[in-house]
Structure 1
Amino acid sequence: MSKKKYSKEFKLKVLKEHEDGASFYSIEKKYDIVLGTVKRWNAAFKAHGEEALEYHNSNLCRYSAEFKQSVVSDYLSGGGSFETIAVKYGIHAESTVLKWVKLYNSHEELTDSRKIGGYLMAKDIKSRKTALEERIRIVEYCVSHSNDYSATAKEFNCSYGQVYSWANKYNQNGIDGLKDGRGRNKTSDELSELEKLRAENRLLKAEKRRQKMEIELLKKLEEIERR
């Protein structure tokens, strides 16, 4: 399901309802808004004014490595929850803060966002023909990098849409979902049972690595939250 987009005018309207006495929960239920969203709008509005209520495509936001480090350091030093840190720094999604903290705790370098327009570059890469084995490698890379479709598209020089489609087809139908379903299957899209088992094993290992990393991170974050 695609994420709903709300105008600044709509956000101001519901915040006025809250100001007049309506609870966040009742407003969210009334307008079928994801729980916690109106509370986040309210916090952002109080911290940064109406500009914070403008719709922003988070994929197009650019942040420097230094800025990311400051945000992560603030969170790890007990500066607040993901939500409050996001509001404090004018970041439009608390999940962005979580992602940076995950990277930092995994000993990965925090780098400038899309130094040369990386997201747009990934969007502009044209679709190309691929064999099944390559699609398996692409999905394996994508899974092990927390489904970063843009980075995967750039790494393998294929389109963002292809990566997104293959990752979803794999999630729904496994290795068979990555076969070329147009017309008769080509030789390059055929695997022996042994090859298929090996490919499935690689993808399962990639998923387990990702899950292990996330579990370890959550444990660290819980320890920090308890301080």
Structure 2
Amino acid sequence: MSRKSKYSFEQKKWVVEQYLNGNMSASKIAIRLNMPKNGSRQIRSWARQYQSNQNAFLRSVKYNAHYSKELKEGVVQEYLAGKISLSSLANKYGIRSYSTVRKWVSKYNSHIKNQDYNPHPEVYMTKARRKTTQQERIQIVQYCLNHDKNYSEAAARFSCSYQQVYSWAQKYLANGEEGLTDNRGRHKQPQELTELELANRRMKELERKLKEKQEKNEFLKKLDQLERMCLPNSQNTDRLQ
């Protein structure tokens, strides 16, 4: 999913240079940039990252990074060996936040397998809705469900939008294959409606008839006015008398 950094690359680089060169303290820099209360801690974190991997940690990224399953497992094992901290591991491997490493470790300890992560940002941005048949929708949903409900991966694989895949999956889980039938433009038969839907349909029909009657009365009224205007003056005078 798209992610925009609050601070530009130029700002981060200036902050790190000012801090590491001793020109300004972290607290003064935070005040100057109008940063929140934890601004000083953020600045020191940027400085550590810069010292470990230099500009790689300061570049703004448009999308979430792609971390392979092998990298995750290697980082977790290195942490469990007890020789390096979470933040040091994040700096060492170019991971933007130590909380990401902590999450991987937590999953490992809970016996949850860390998977490859590829965000497929294009599926979140596309607004076009690809036309599909019911069989195609069933195939897409089944693929999604068989891959741990990875909506973005299914969307990328079948050239759909994330929203389409998510909507189809929810309909399938609620109503099975029938939920993926395209009913757009189809008028339900009375026996297919619930009591509430029947009541709403009757209400709309009464509203339609009332509107027709009002329009008809308005038309007759205007017609009568027009006829009066077209009558000779003498007849109009007689009517007035």
Structure with bigger RCO (C-alpha 8 Å, 6+ apart): 1
CA radius of gyration, larger in: 2
Q: TM-score normalized by structure 2?
A: 0.46
